[in-house]
Amino acid sequence: MEHTVESVEPKIIEIVTELTEDWDVDLDGGVGPTTTMIADIGFASIDFIQLVVAIEGAYKQKLGFQDLLMQNGAYVDDLSVRQIAAFVAGRLSGAAPAPAPTAAPVPTKSAAPAAVVSSVPDSERVTAEKLARFRASIARRTLTGDGGPKNPPALFVLSPPRSGSTLLRVILAGSSKLFAPPELHLLPYATMGDRLKALSGEHTEHLLDGTVRALMQLHGWEAEQARAFVSRCEQENMSTKAFYRLLQEPLKGEKLLVDKTPSYVIDVDILKRIEVDFENSLFIHLLRHPCGMIRSYEESKLQRLMPMVQESSFGARELAELTWLTAQQNTLEFAKQVPKERWLTLRYEDVVCSPETSIRQICDFAKIPYEDAMINPYEEMDQRMTDGVDNASKMSGDLKFHLHNAINPDAAVRWKQFYTDGILGQPTLEMARALGY
């Protein structure tokens, strides 16, 4: 079947209309070819994710929307229905069209490359004093062992947010020897009731869904059944250690549970709990250049979504750098108590630039066979649990994963279009150099 802009456009209009049917949007004549997503309808980033998932679901294939949504290293200001339809028609026809131009009318910004920032004012530079204040702002938790038997081994991915851990998780989910669900958010809480109370806020409620999605995959349950099960565990105030065991038991020792939850590294006591509650777990310390993490953190406006960081006066860039630095310090401190044979340090830059080499390194470390499916993280998406519980926009992890259709090596260095390491404070520079950057 030939796909043209004219044949695709009605489907795009239908999808946009369905996504926004409950919105308070006054469009004269409804959604049409010239309707723009941001200026006319008021799309936010999460709405673009829903749109992408709906379009790819309708046509049953990945289309690589990152190519449409990015220009000169930055996200486009707006897109019209017709521009989206033209992109989709081109991809369905096997073409690789250039990204559409910024849709008018959006006169507030230019699509020209931003100037590279090579320095920041002293008032915005991270210092030891700011690091101490940031650490004091972290909500600490009292975590003690229950004295009972340890859980079986698991594999923990340790990294701050925006370090590529979602991509790595989905790669790991391609192994028949690993069970790698979305972020579980279990370790910081003694009980499931504590977890529910801590994560029930407007910006963090979706973080509760990782356990629900894991149960759906393990048992073949529908969302309602899995949610009811988790709710009973919360009402009974089951320990999170016991809940981990409920996730591990169906694996029967044939698969290793993977937990990648970036918030764990914000408190070293959370990391230390792993050795108390689990027997001989494995750890992947996933590194990313601090400037790469900072740029991604700013773009994602992630400061609202960190459940353990209380409100502070730090700007987004400072908060990102402080998070990166604290995470590395905590992870390295924790690493001192873990035998070297259970610890693997991996660079995000290597994962995206030399994926097969990195995956084979992981397989050797975990003593599991290399499988070709691991290098194709955008295939068999339902088996890799990238769809969330109700829809993909609720996935606990990096939602921008859905914009891609292949591992992109450019992601390793895209931050260089915006920053040099001259923006970093001295403590961060010293840590980055110690880690080989």
Residue 159: what pLDDT?
A: 97
pLDDT tens figures, 28-65: 888 999 999 888 888 866 677 778 878 888 888 878 78
Helices (DSSP H) in 289-366: which residue ranges? 290-300, 316-335, 348-353, 355-366
Mean pLDDT, residues 194-215:
89
- pTM, full prediction: 0.77
Mean pLDDT, residues 316-343:
96
Answer with the residue of higher pLDDT: 21 or 244. 244
Residue 108: what pLDDT?
A: 35
Average pLDDT for the chain: 86
Which residues, 6+ apart, have CB-to-CB distance to 201 below 8 Å?
Answer: 307
Is a pLDDT exceeding 80 seen at residue 93? yes
pLDDT band (50, 70, 90) for residue 388: low
Mean pLDDT, residues 88-93:
90
Residue type, 55: I
Is a pLDDT exceeding 60 seen at residue 19? yes
Mean pLDDT, residues 73-91:
85
- Enumerate long-range contacts of 361-365, CB under 8 Å, 24 or more apart: 362/172, 362/284, 363/175, 365/282, 365/284
* Contact between residue 42 and residue 23 where contact means Cβ atoms under 8 Å apart: yes
State the architecture of 5-92 in CATH terms. Answer: Orthogonal Bundle (1.10)
Structure tokens at 413: 């260095």
pLDDT tens figures, 248-301: 999 999 999 999 999 999 999 999 999 999 999 999 999 999 999 998 888 765
Phi, psi of 339 (to 5 degrees): -55, 145
pLDDT tens figures, 157-198: 999 999 999 899 999 999 999 999 999 999 999 999 999 999
Residue 110: what pLDDT?
A: 37
pLDDT tens figures, 344-363: 999 999 999 999 999 999 99
Is a pLDDT exceeding 50 seen at residue 91? yes
CATH 2.60.120.10 fits 129-434, yes or no: no
**CA dihedral sign, ordered 122, 127, 129, 133:** positive
Mean pLDDT, residues 233-260:
97
3-state SS, residue 240: helix
Mean pLDDT, residues 223-251:
97
β-pair type (256-260, 178-179): parallel
pLDDT tens figures, 328-339: 999 999 999 999
Distance, CA of 329 to chain centre: 21
Mean pLDDT, residues 420-428:
96
Query: Where along the chain do its domains lie?
Result: 5-92, 129-434
pLDDT band (50, 70, 90) for residue 2: confident
Residue 259: what pLDDT?
A: 98
